[in-house]
Structure 1
């Protein structure tokens, strides 16, 4: 590759990243709507899909610093649905060489909250009041979490319960989480 072509490619990449950075900064003010940030990232076709997932997960980590303690990727986000992946590492393992319960809960809470937040309006609020975790099987290797939340039909609701399933690479359920949220629904649909 010639030096001129390499320079031109570098300029194109830097320009694209600058445009992407400005788009993300513009949308970060509305991180209450994670779906909007997800869609902005996925509208940039020059970025590989894995990089888009990494960038979105980093943004989630900025919004929720505790989520940065685990190495996760959000792999899918739609209205009422979120999925993610987390690989077992030494940092999140317990002395028994499996994923620590706190890492599983952090992973599940992150995925579950994204699924719920996609259904909330800009003025709506939700705060987690209870987490219940059932550990079904020892968790090792690559783990996936998914949460599907049905639309909130009762705008007078003050509590919403959501569920997260965490599975291993063999698609066996390793943990089930139940998240209870106190909600303040102000937006009208």
Structure 2
């Protein structure tokens, strides 16, 4: 009888967690401010730190479904600074047993876009118009990407260029991305 009751409690807890995650994801994925979403998720002190990053990455995947294909994990979000990790998997590898170039581009674009969007207001818009990628070496295993976007004060700017650096587990730079964004800044 006790095993049966334990099973019921487990199902109820899993149902509660799933419904809570769904509710949080619906509320937070509609926000246009990745930093506000990050701060909201990380204010949930009842969850372990690693789970908070996983939930945030899940929300990024809801807002940008294509980023789910590479299984990216966002590890840090600050004003103008975003870092993340991606582990090489079978789905991100090419036939040469290294990370596919398209997966690297998706990884870099996700990190660079989040870094830019931490500076944008609710009415500002940005769309990627150009990606330039320098592949430095073939890569395997765990990757880290980081993007630092300095604050821009000129609201008449219609083009912003950001950079993303991708490194391997030995901290060797394996790719550099330059992203060009067409922006519509409302200044609010």
Offset, 1:96 = 1.0
Contact 1:23 1:40 in 2 (8 A): no
The yes-or-no answer on 1:160 pairing with 2:174 is no
CA distance in 2, matches of 1:96, 1:9: 43
Q: Give the 3 Å change call, closer, same or farther, for CA 22–74 of structure 1 in structure 2.
A: same
Q: Give the 3 Å change call, closer, same or farther, for CA 10–48 of structure 1 in structure 2.
A: farther
Q: SS state of the match for residue 122, structure 1?
A: coil
Q: SS state of the match for residue 108, structure 1?
A: helix
Query: What does residue range 24-43 of structure 1 map to in structure 2 within 5 Å?
Result: 24-30=25-31, 32-43=32-43
Offset, 1:25 = 3.0
The yes-or-no answer on 1:107 pairing with 2:107 is yes
Offset, 1:17 = 6.5
Contact 1:107 1:145 in 2 (8 A): yes
Provide the aligned C-alpha RMSD in A. Answer: 2.1
The yes-or-no answer on 1:139 pairing with 2:110 is no
Offset, 1:72 = 1.1
Contact 1:24 1:40 in 2 (8 A): no
CA distance in 1, matches of 2:141, 2:27: 37
Contact 2:75 2:83 in 1 (8 A): yes
Match of 2:116 in 1: 116
TM-score w.r.t. length of structure 2: 0.89
Contact 1:167 1:174 in 2 (8 A): yes
The yes-or-no answer on 1:127 pairing with 2:124 is no
CA distance in 1, matches of 2:42, 2:5: 30
TM-score w.r.t. length of structure 1: 0.89
User: Structure 2: which 5+ runs fail to align?
Assistant: none
User: Structure 1: which 5+ runs fail to align?
Assistant: none
Q: Give the 3 Å change call, closer, same or farther, for CA 68–21 of structure 1 in structure 2.
A: closer
